[in-house]
A and B are shown apart, each in its own frame.
Chain A
Amino acid sequence: MAVEGSLDLQKLPEVLQLIAQQKKTGILTVQGMQDIIAVTFLNGQIVAADALNQTVEEGLAQVLVGERLLTAADFARAAAEHETAGGRLLDLLVERSYIARPDLLRGLRLQTFRLLEQLLRWEKGDFKFYSGDEVPFEDGFHPIAVDELLYPGTGPGTGPAPLRSVPPAPYREETAEDYPRVTPEPSARPTLRVVRREGEPPAPVRAVSGAMPGAVTADPEATSPFRQMKVEKPQGAPLAFLPWLAATGLALILGAALLSRPEALILPFPWQSRERADLAQDQRASLYLKIDRAAKTYFLLEGHFPANLTVLQKAGLLAGSDLSDPQGHAFRYTATEESYSLQPLVGDQPIAGTETSEAITGNFLLDPEFLNVPTESTSPPLVLLD
């Protein structure tokens, strides 16, 4: 199952079920044709859902008014108050006694459910799951099981045992003592709960809620999953970087082998040393043929072999890579009046069995002796005497 993908290839129920089965914590974002929805998971259960084109407050308003938990007029009044007072609208609704918190949470759950139902109707889009150790969600929110979403009739009371409003053991709710530097404002209600597994060291959490130092007011965006969470990774096994380092080393060495000993890449086994030598010899033979043609072309034009191979490279008859053998060894080139020799070197030492030499002998265009046309014979003629 892919962490990211397309709804064309993988159906959303499968993705949700996989996350639930693996009890993952993180945020699943689904980008549809006209909207983006983020679903927050905590241990495989859904604890929040947000849409880009609709704020939580807007969706919640529709649900609360529709379920007659709140009148439209009351909501409008609360919204107006929220604009002047600031803070979270949800907190203001409870504080001003427009609605009781349990009703608010039920409404929020219903709004989440409806958003998820809307999401399940999407047929096109891309999804991506961001795993994390901590996720933001409304305190007291009754998580929604994926089965409950996918199989109607398995809701609370009819299916699996109702979920508790606090995370079950072995999870432990953190308190302020775990973060002594965090001093919540008395007026600010902690809106997020951080949970972690027993035995895990506390991960420093930054910019999670309005209770954190430095935040003047509770930022409604602070609970939005569209905000990136910054969480330091928990400590892993010692020397965990070793496989990564070894893999990098292997990649570098493979690249070096490609440049210095390409025959070792395609004939890698230790018992293939002869085949590697043969291949290298054939590669050298093709290079020698090319150099020979270039050198003899130079001789054709200039009447002598070049002083060095660089002259041939500058003339365009050879490439720069032709000035060393296929294994990267530089050539020792020596030229005489009628011949030249080439030998690859390792340092200053020639490599035995790899040298070549060519001459103009036997070339009718270059060898002046080749076409010696016999002149008239100077020997006395044979006279037959009667």
Chain B
Amino acid sequence: MSRRPARALRLAVTAAFLAAAAIPATPALAAAPPAGGVSSPQVTGVELTAPVRRGLKQVEEQWLQWVVQNSKQGSEGVVQDLLATAHQLGMVRLPDLSIGALDRAVQAARQGDFNRAHWALDAAERLDPGRCETAFAEASVDRLEGHAVRSLGDLLRGYLRLFGLPLERYLWMQDMLVWSVSLLLLSGGLFIAVQMAVKGKALWEDLLELFSRRLPRPAALAVAAAVLLWPLLLPSGLLWLPLFWSVLLWGYSSVSERAVLVTLWLLVGLAPILITSQSRRVAVMLSPPVQAMESLRQHRLYGGLFTDLGVLRSLLPESAAVKHLLADVHRSLNQWDLAQSLYRQVLEQEPANTYAEMNLGAYAYIKGDFGSAIQHFQKVVAADPKSAAALFNLSQAYSDSYLFDDSRRSLAQARAIDDTQVDRWMRELSQQRIVTNNRGITRIPEIRDELQANFRAHEAPSARLELFRRWLSPVVPLVLALLAVALQLAGRPLGSSSEAASDSLRFHSNNRWRRILLPGAGAAESGEGLGGFFAVLLPVALIMLPLFGRLGYRLPWGYDPGSSVAWIVAILGLTLYLGVRLRMELRNDI
């Protein structure tokens, strides 16, 4: 799903609510909160109480303070304050501010103020630790400072950090899939082109001989050329041309070359299925709601977080998983009143949801309603007797209700299940004294699947037609194989005789430079299929290296590392490759 449809949907939902409420659609009035100081979800995505809004405002103001800092100590102090404020909101990372700090660092480095650049980088790292963008920006600063080796090390560190970031890692894997499939298909096409370049003359001569039996020479030439090039007239002619050539060249190919051709046919048939199955998942992963959920999981507070959560609720208004997630969000923001309402809605849909029940009990406990709290915790214990957290909470509620015997018994039961955990709770739970859970946040994969199903429901016009179209492409390799075998069995003189197929010496050329500069030519002359394919694959892989991020999906990192490393590796690799080929050719020559 693109951001544009999501944003359009968000605005549509807002407009619908406003129309129903008959409120003029002006931002100021729409932002007017209802009673209790809770913001309207139409504006903020999810309801935000006044303390939370004040906390967010404080973040914004502290950021402005950081921007005007001129010293490392000042910067560290403000960053500390920022993180403390974020912690109060249940968050530990501030990615937008981290990218802002990176940009400031690079700007300072360009102006020659490397001291400022370095403490800005430190601030960026503290605000959102472990990001690859920080390492890339550090590489830029080191490069500007003249430390080329350190810069290269930072670049490599940045790429390694990429694998620790879920969204970036996922997109990188998708990019690798797209790049690899593109590489194999392009190499396959070029392999067939090389085969045609080396063996085409023999094919051409055979075609001419075939048609010259019945046609005058000029007509035979025209017909042979037409036979060779007619697939260009078809839709997607560039696809059919190499496939057709692969069938024609079947008779001139060795066993290993035929194996390569069959593998390429299968790849052509199956690659589209592989790619399309992944592309819709990527669309969901890039959508604002999934971005928001992943940020919640990592406790990253970015500017549009709450608005994107509002989009999630509007897309799946009846989903128990979404309500559970939002309830946990409210709870982490200390918006217990809003959270308990959603927990109740979850329990209406999922009566056996002990996690929502537990958190409701926690809410009752915090409100001082120990009787209700005990009831909720008892329900959880009844449903899940092995829950140490429920027994611990029950003991706390008993204790505050002066039911000390029951409290001791429950605590003992909790210790019997998980003594270490109970000790940790006793040490860490100072204010709240009650254990809560983030089960809603762990339901993110379930919500993602619901989003995907929701997306597919809007997409597919006809299941049968869709199924037919999807599975049409694997039929193509079957058809090609049948054609090739039919051509061979028909005994046409297109290299189908065993003499022609095994006559590798027929294609030999004394042109050394052709073998060096044209990858796979030597192997094509020798009939080495795998060797020929890999001879094409390696230089094509090197040439395609700088295109890695462009062929698939752009990684949405906040600071771009550029593609200089890829270009350097590609150029050096190609030079080395040509050099090795030249050396091998000279070594074998007399």
Contact = CB atoms under 8 A, between A and B. Distances in A.
Interface stretch (A79-87, A146-154, A253-261): A253-261
Interface string B33-50: 100010000011100001
Interface stretch (B195-203, B430-438, B443-451): B195-203
Nearest to A252: B193
Interface string A310-337: 0000011111011000100000000000
A236 interface: yes
B409 interface: no
A297 B103 contact: yes
A300 to B, nearest CB: 5
Given A239-B225, A290-B556, A131 B3 contact: no
A266 interface: yes
Interface string B76-112: 0000000000000000000011011001101100000
A103 interface: no
Given A128-B589, A285-B283, A3 B504 contact: yes
Interface in A228-273: 236-240, 242-244, 246-248, 250-251, 253-255, 257-259, 262, 265-272
B406 interface: no
B298 interface: no
A296 B303 contact: yes
B193 A363 contact: no
Contacts of A265: 182, 185-186
Given A244-B201, A369-B28, A266 B275 contact: yes
A269 B504 contact: no
* Interface footprint category on B: 35 or more
Contacts of B4: 288, 355-357
B552 A283 contact: yes
A374 interface: yes
A183 to B, nearest CB: 30
A24 B242 CA distance: 32
Interface in A156-181: none
B348 interface: no
A282 B37 contact: no
B169 interface: no
Interface string B207-249: 0100000000100010001001100000110110110000000
Contacts of A371: 53, 56-57, 60
Contacts of B59: 364-365
B147 interface: no
A98 interface: no
A384 interface: no
A132 B508 CA distance: 10
A347 to B, nearest CB: 22
Interface in A275-301: 275, 278-279, 281-290, 292-294, 296-298, 300-301
A305 to B, nearest CB: 14
B489 interface: no
A244 B556 contact: no
Interface in B340-390: none
B588 A247 contact: no
Interface string B495-509: 000000011110010
Given A22-B505, A282-B283, A316 B57 contact: no
Interface in B505-546: 505, 508, 510, 522, 525-528, 544
A90 interface: no
Contact of A365 (B54, B60, B217, B272): B60
A128 B588 contact: yes
A269 B106 contact: no
A316 B560 contact: yes
Given A1-B502, A129-B508, A275 B272 contact: yes
B190 A285 contact: no
Interface stretch (B152-160, B468-476, B480-488): B468-476
Nearest to A239: B221
Contact of A4 (B57, B200, B526, B549): B526
6 contacts: A5-B526, A236-B201, A243-B197, A285-B2, A287-B554, A365-B97
Given A239-B225, A282-B283, A366-B303, 6 more contacts: A4-B526, A243-B200, A266-B178, A266-B182, A285-B286, A362-B307
Interface of B: 1-4, 7, 10, 27-28, 31-33, 37, 43-45, 50, 53-54, 56-57, 59-60, 63, 67, 96-97, 99-100, 103-104, 106-107, 137, 140, 171, 178, 181-182, 185-186, 189-190, 192-194, 196-197, 200-201, 203-205, 208, 217, 221, 225, 228-229, 235-236, 238-239, 241-242, 268, 271-272, 275-276, 279-280, 282-283, 286, 291, 303-304, 306-307, 310, 469, 472-473, 476, 502-505, 508, 510, 522, 525-528, 544, 547, 549-560, 562-563, 588-590
